Each structure stands twice: as structure tokens, then as C-alpha cells.
Amino acid sequence: MAILQVRDIDNNLYNSLKISAKMQNRSVSQEVITIIETYLNSSQKNNKNATLEFLSLEGAWEDRRSADDIIKDIRKNRQQLNRFGKNNGIFD
């Protein structure tokens, strides 16, 4: 097996690793390996080509209405929420 040595770790990060390892009944080395494996496995499964995903959004925000029409539509569709009651002095 390969050996990985990491130097100059921030004390707060190392203490967090120690706490996490202790909570999982692992050594710090085992905890680091687990964190790396978890990260790499999850990011590779969900990692689509970011450029293609971004390009697929092209045109999604287009709207032929004028700015005034969009604002009117937003205001028309707002809901009146009376979470704080009327005349409560804070938001009046």
C-alpha cells in the first residue's frame, strides 16, 4: 500500500479530525482515508460535465416581456403573509 504524508495541517483541522475519528472509533489515519474515499466516491458519481450542464441552461432565462411587465407579474403573484400580525410595531 502507498503511504501518504501530510504536513503543516492547521491545528483546528487536526483537532476536528481527531474528534471525528474518536466518534467513529477510528484512528486519525483511518478517518482521513474514510473521508477521502467518501468524497471521491460521491463526487465522481454526481460529477457531470459542468461545462455541458452550464451550456444546457442557455436561453432558459430568456423572457420576451418587458421589465415592467415582469415586475407587475411578480407583484401580482405575491402572497400576503400575516405571520407577524398587523401593527405589531416591528415591521410596520
Q: Enumerate the domain spans of the chain.
A: 11-51
Question: Is 86's pLDDT higher than 70?
Answer: no
Q: What is the pTM of this model?
A: 0.48
pLDDT in tens, 59-77: 777 888 999 999 988 888 8
pLDDT in tens, 29-58: 999 999 999 988 876 666 678 788 888 888
User: Helices (DSSP H) in 27-92: which residue ranges?
Assistant: 28-46, 50-55, 67-77
What's the CA gap between 41 and 44, in Å, rounded? 5
Question: Residue holding cell 482521513?
Answer: 32
- Residue 31: what pLDDT? 94
Structure confidence at residue 80 as a pLDDT band (50, 70, 90): low
